[in-house]
Amino acid sequence: MEPKIKFENVSKIFQTRRQTIVAVKDFSMEIMPGEFVSVLGPSGCGKSTLIRMLDGIIKPTSGSISLDGERVESYAKLPPSILRKIGFIFQQPNLLPWFSVRENVTLPLRIFGLKGGEWKEHVDNLIAMAGLKKYENASPAEISGGMLQRVGVIRAMAHNPEVLLMDEPFGALDEMTREQLNMELMQIWHEKRQTIIFITHNIQEALLMSSRIYVMGTNPGRLIRTVDVDLPRPRSLDMIVEPDFIEYEREIMNLIGELDLSKIK
């Protein structure tokens, strides 16, 4: 089986008047279809830059990125063959305030010109799955932060993409809401089996959801280690006190601790 997503020796350098910033250096990653992987690391390690290069927003300085064997060229308009495969979930839901919940969810359908009863049924199922049926006609100002983020998640899924790129989507929420949405996201992934790249700096969050974690360091942003997470599924919050989970958590904390020490030297 060929990788769904492939990064090959990707680097990104930003040049300012005062300095040269190596955001990402020689990063390589292969993700198979249907995998849930996390990219974990401290602020400034290039996590968000990686998925913005995959989404065509930022051009790599060197190296190559491909989706289903088709190279992503960020300096040109991405072809529909790539755009239709990707759903992007941001740190903030970025909903249109003058649209209802349902209108926000269906926005990608308008963009891609997807019409008909099957797409309406698909949106109905997404809204029900997210527990938003009672609020589908509400405006964003009338619902809670957790609900807003749910809308952002299912909006990215409205055009039925094969890949979800998630940039710390629950980072601004309180811990309880964040944990609840993490569990809901795992259930969605279990049902849909989309390929997911999840950006986070939260170790427990990454361990609970991922089959593999790419741990990154800063100065320059680079891959330090790949951690394969061999924990049984389905996973639950009860797992965080189990010995295997704690051992993984300790391993990653040690990696990040080493990175922090290297920054001080």
The pLDDT tens digits for 20-45 are 889 999 999 999 999 999 999 888 88
What is the per-residue pLDDT across 192-235, written as a single tens digit (0 to 9) for each?
A: 889 999 999 899 999 999 999 999 998 889 999 999 999 999 89
Cα 189 from Cα 34, distance rounded (Å): 9
Does a cis peptide bond (omega within 30 degrees of 0) precede residue 220?
Answer: yes
**3-state SS class at 146:** helix
The tokens of 125 are what? 């199922």
Domain residue limits, the chain: 1-85+164-239, 95-161
Confidence of residue 75 (pLDDT cuts 50, 70, 90): low
Cut 0.85: pTM above it: yes
Residue type for 63, please? Answer: G
The tokens of 96 are what? 């249109």
Find out if CATH 3.20.20.10 is the number for domain 1-85+164-239.
no
Cα 74 from Cα 83, distance rounded (Å): 12
Cα 58 from Cα 46, distance rounded (Å): 12
